[in-house]
Structure 1
Amino acid sequence: MSTTEAADIFHRARGRTLDAFSAEKEKEWKGPFYFIQGADPQLGLMKAWSTGNCDSGGDEWGQEVRLTEQAVQAINKLNPKPRFFVLCGDLIHAMPGTPWRKEQTEDLQRVLGHIDREIPLVFVSGNHDVGNVPTPETIEEFCQTWGDDYFSFWVGGVLFLVLNSQFFYDASRCQALKRAQDQWLDQQLSIAGQGKCQHAIVFQHIPLFLQSMDEEDDYFNLTRPVRKEMADKFTKAGIKAVFSGHYHRNSGGTHQNLDMVVSSAIGCQLGKDTHGLRVVVVTAERIVHRYYSLDELSEKGIDDDLMALVKAN
């Protein structure tokens, strides 16, 4: 599938918003709903990880294709339908400029093209999507392929912010782009802080932290100064939760009233978790979420107690 053909299937973010949802119609709270969060399908990593050569583009990705197909099929069977399906980064394994990138992208777009047309896709950029040290060129490639690298949208009275977390990791080669996101983010957080939304939620690839705000710096989290700066901004604005991936394991913690949710991967597992997806229910008062293995979601669907929250009025 070419990028042009993908544009016909996916509601890609443009102009810093997602046209799948009308802001005017979606700013009002109308009752509970749910969405699906996935992370790191990362086509190519499983073979690369098994051979100990993760710097290569990963020359086989059949396993990830099958897992992503299973995820799409499981989501399509859910009733009622989720409002959207968000993928929190590392869509493919091949870094910008490495072999297999085009082929992995086309295969992932083909698989995702089978998602129910009534379930919009939300794409978050990860380090493998824009590079560990992104450049204007790598970010432009992502935007052309998947849509804007940062944007906001409203669903059911809830404000969602999608961020490019590589700007928080290393923006040394794209400082002007980082400043632009920073300015935009401050504007969005100002809107959230006015209290006109039922909740405000952030999606990004790299977690602020894995378990606690004061943990050591690690490849899988943001540095202490950056995480403190971002957490302070988020909590001041009343952000309820940050959903991320990157760790390839389930983890997370809380800071003040902020829930940091780290979801394991659709693709390669680096711990003891299963390939899976997270179901997130948004009620008037809280945000409830549960991680399901792909097999669980395929065979049993969403637990009755969680679905009861969605249907409650």
Structure 2
Amino acid sequence: MAEDESIFLRAKDRSFKGLTEDEQKEWNGPFYFIQAADPQLGLMKAWRVGECDSGGDEWGEEVQLTKQAIQAINKLQPRPRFIVLCGDLVHAMPGSSFRTDQVKDLKEALRGTDPDIPLVFVSGNHDLGNTPTPDTVEQFCRDWGDDYFSFWVGGVLCFVLNSQFFFDSSGCPELMEAQEVWLERHLQRAAQTPSRHVLVFQHIPLFIHTPDEEDDYFNLQRGMRQRLVQRFKHAGVKAVFSGHYHRNAGGCHDGLDMVVSSAIGCQLGDDTHGVRVVVVTKDEIIHRYYSLDQLTERGLDEDLKKLLA
């Protein structure tokens, strides 16, 4: 058994132990979860020195920020039902000399998570490479679990997707096709299966501000974006949560909420290191971004606590 297998439950066989339909298909009242993104160990120094491709030889700042986030989350009452990390777990691309140590140090930083709070891992472009290959996908799965899967929490159906396949699957077309077949089957079933809400987690946003915006490094190309928007809406998806942008953005369009959350680690805009608290009620998905200092000092705002009462 690998050293960290007893620490992290991993998605396996496209599902997540303890969060299956049989166990969690019934709605049993409001709950909340934490969405975080881009701890990306190594980017803060690389960004400062302007060597984002080859830099990243120091990551102590990101380790401390990750530990601060976990310590603050552990103290929240009531506890979140899960934490989802929406990709770019480390900065070093597959094959980088810094990769092994960054993965090791992130796992160590996450080790302090309350064992009653499941950690759900999403793959990002730095975790897989900008053009993923079968080898880089296999390595991610060894380190963090399946790259795409579904799970249930309190009557809510959740999909975790490998968005790098949507961005550039030229290095692994057969893996992209496998996800497509799996996703289409599960979206069709979601449209016919009673659930309180359907949520999607992926690294790259469908869009940053509006569905008709121009193609960019930080969003999915327009053709792919439009197809996914239509498929998600048909399946009843209420919200898509992502990271990648290192700033808060997004918006609700025609009933689909695209939620873009800034980073635990390096900030590329005016936001601060933080996480998003997402409250799930019978009829709504309500979310608010908290800086790590806010979460550490104050915990949940009173109005969010009232929603959970």
TM-score normalized by the length of structure 2: 0.99
TM-score normalized by the length of structure 1: 0.97
Q: Do the aligned residues in 1 keep the contact of 2:204 with 2:219 (CA within 8 Å)?
A: yes
2:292 alignment partner in structure 1: 294
1:190 alignment partner in structure 2: 188
**Hey, what's the Cα distance between the residues in 2 that align with 1:82 and 1:263?**
18
How far 1:221 sits from its partner (Å)?
0.2
How far 1:76 sits from its partner (Å)?
0.4
2:110 alignment partner in structure 1: 112
Q: Do the aligned residues in 2 keep the contact of 1:57 with 1:101 (CA within 8 Å)?
A: no
Task: Select 2:8's aligned residue among 5, 10, 35.
Answer: 10
**Hey, what's the Cα distance between the residues in 1 that align with 2:236 and 2:262?**
25
The secondary structure found in structure 2 opposite 1:6 is coil
Matches within 5 A, 1:12-161: 12-161=10-159
Q: Deviations over 1:257-290 (max 9, x none)?
A: 1000000000000000000000000000010000
**Hey, what's the Cα distance between the residues in 2 that align with 1:253 and 1:231?**
13
Q: Do the aligned residues in 2 keep the contact of 1:57 with 1:95 (CA within 8 Å)?
A: no
**Hey, what's the Cα distance between the residues in 1 that align with 2:232 and 2:21?**
22
Q: Deviations over 1:174-213 (max 9, x none)?
A: 0010010001111111122114111000000000000000
How far 1:20 sits from its partner (Å)?
3.3
The secondary structure found in structure 2 opposite 1:200 is strand
Q: Deviations over 1:203-247 (max 9, x none)?
A: 000000000001111100001001001000001111000000000
How far 1:255 sits from its partner (Å)?
2.3
**Hey, what's the Cα distance between the residues in 1 that align with 2:172 and 2:254?**
32
**Hey, what's the Cα distance between the residues in 1 that align with 2:246 and 2:132?**
21
Query: Structure 2 counterpart of 1:307, which letter?
Result: K
Query: Structure 1 counterpart of 2:58, which letter?
Result: E
**Hey, what's the Cα distance between the residues in 2 that align with 1:159 and 1:190?**
13
**Hey, what's the Cα distance between the residues in 2 that align with 1:20 and 1:302?**
26
The secondary structure found in structure 1 opposite 2:257 is strand
Task: Select 2:275's aligned residue among 274, 277, 286.
Answer: 277
Query: Structure 2 counterpart of 1:153, which letter?
Result: F
Q: Do the aligned residues in 2 keep the contact of 1:57 with 1:100 (CA within 8 Å)?
A: no
Query: Structure 1 counterpart of 2:304, which letter?
Result: L
**Hey, what's the Cα distance between the residues in 2 that align with 1:22 and 1:195?**
14
The secondary structure found in structure 2 opposite 1:138 is helix
2:169 alignment partner in structure 1: 171
- Paired residues in the alignment total 309
Query: Structure 1 counterpart of 2:225, which letter?
Result: R
Q: Do the aligned residues in 1 keep the contact of 2:33 with 2:81 (CA within 8 Å)?
A: yes
Task: Select 2:302's aligned residue among 277, 286, 304.
Answer: 304
Query: Structure 2 counterpart of 1:86, which letter?
Result: V
**Hey, what's the Cα distance between the residues in 1 that align with 2:242 and 2:270?**
18
How far 1:57 sits from its partner (Å)?
4.7
Query: Is 1:240 matched with 2:238?
Result: yes
Q: Do the aligned residues in 1 keep the contact of 2:127 with 2:140 (CA within 8 Å)?
A: yes
How far 1:22 sits from its partner (Å)?
3.8
**Hey, what's the Cα distance between the residues in 2 that align with 1:111 and 1:122?**
15
Single out whichever of 187-196 and 83-92 deviates more from structure 2: 187-196
**Hey, what's the Cα distance between the residues in 1 that align with 2:40 and 2:134?**
22
**Hey, what's the Cα distance between the residues in 1 that align with 2:87 and 2:243?**
7
Q: Do the aligned residues in 1 keep the contact of 2:45 with 2:55 (CA within 8 Å)?
A: no
Identity of aligned residues (%): 64
Q: Do the aligned residues in 2 keep the contact of 1:200 with 1:239 (CA within 8 Å)?
A: yes
**Hey, what's the Cα distance between the residues in 2 that align with 1:225 and 1:255?**
17
